[in-house]
Chains A and B, each alone.
Chain A
Amino acid sequence: MEINSESHSQHISRQFNQELEELKTHLMAMGGLVEKQVQDAITALLENDSKLATKVRDNDREVNDLHLQIDEECTRILARRQPAASDLRLVLAVIRASSDLERIGDEASKIARNAISLTESNNVIRGLVEVRHISEHVRKMLRDALTSFARFDLELAIEVVREDELVDDEYGSAMRSLITFMAEDARSISSVLSVMWILRALERVGDHADNLAEHVVYLVKGLDIRHSDPDTLEATVLDRDKS
């Protein structure tokens, strides 16, 4: 059975409603923080702002704390409430989503660390166009994934999954052009390598956003689409929608 974002507030136990509501709020707070981390890391890189990059790197601890806190809440709910059906799926989805968000946080701090080393090198940095392009894309994916989680929006989630394929393609072509840069100018190799790491991190962020979207599908429909073919996805998820 498909559920909507209201359905976790209709329990006979108001305490339980409150606990699930808090769980969602905390996850969204974590999502907001991680989203900002990614954005700041990219901004720091593009604007050569090493202070901002340091801040991003240090803020990762906050993300980790939130991750631990959400995990603990989930454990407590599992132990005390023995949730079933959509409640169980919510708790499981939150556990998985929080660990994906934590990984995104790690990627953001990785970007920040590379940005710091790039600003310190004072060289001309090549490949920023690609970084800007892919980061726009990935940030949209992350935003959409979080929105779909907040609204239990299947269509948006499917869109994120499909977007991830695009990002993967773009990542491939960006890597190719960066390799060309390295071949052209041996001195730039170390800075281009840093940019490659950054691109790689962005691609990983996209993958985690894709995971988040998959958790939304599991949460809403009870379907596990993690290892299924993206082409048939729309049919399985949204067709059943109508029936």
Chain B
Amino acid sequence: MKLRRRTTSNREAADGPRIDAESVLSIRGLRITYGNGGMALRGVDLEVRSGECVALVGESGSGKTTLARAVVGLLPRSARARGSVRLGEREMLGLSDREWRKLRGRTVGFVSQDPFAACDPLRSVGHHVEESWRVHGDRRPPANHLDRLAELGIPHPKEMLRDRPHQWSGGMLQRATTVAASMYDPPLLVADEPTSALDAELADGVLTSLRRAGRSVLLVCHDLDLAAKHSDRIAVMYAGRIVEERDSSQPGQPRHPYSRALLAATPSGGGGLPRELPGTAPGPLEVLQGCAFAGRCTHAGDLCTISTPMLVDDVACHMEHSR
């Protein structure tokens, strides 16, 4: 994809935070509690460096989506956040909706889970793509959106954009929202399960384009194979914490027992049925003592039920630490 970068003489340079070449996103000790007292995140540290794609994987309810939404300032009003989320050098926690509206799209782009929920059914698809620059007061697109749509495999984009969202398939609509989110080529693109509605073949193409357009990407993905293929680093989440981080290209089995169970449950095509992981993850309302995974873990020892393991040396597991 050919990226036409805007000159820095526009407001982007004046308003937006300065993006550090090393770290695009830096999250420290992030805890998020919802209005009902549910603890969606129980202390998360995460770094996304420039040019890097980090994938968040884990079961539903592990806090992946909450983490992604915290980074783009789209948490519900009832959510209370503690800790720090820095985009470049600017602290993003506690910004007003107004401030967020100026930054979203320029410093951080967001592709949501359900494209149909993201679009007004009464407006044309073209209207939604246009909104990505209209919301910043620009009359003309910062890049050729029709070319970008065509590159993502939407034929005759000019005519198709007149359609309403329901006339498009979920996959096509998701590609249009991807184009809209990356219109200003933001330093960080946050994508929440952007391909769950797409075919495997198309998902590959969309993630590749997403990555080239967004430079650094924080990708929420439940498909381990897809995450490994398109990311540089994988962070495995469980019950509101990151339990393991590792390079996608690193060979060998993962170290945390939960990561291993996730891998064993992934269908591999041939070679028998995937292995079941019995039990369910603790919900956000449960007060946890010790390791959240201890109840389902086959290796859990006495220490695991007493103290919470910290993420040391890229893995949060007492059994791994004592090895």
Same complex for A and B? Answer no
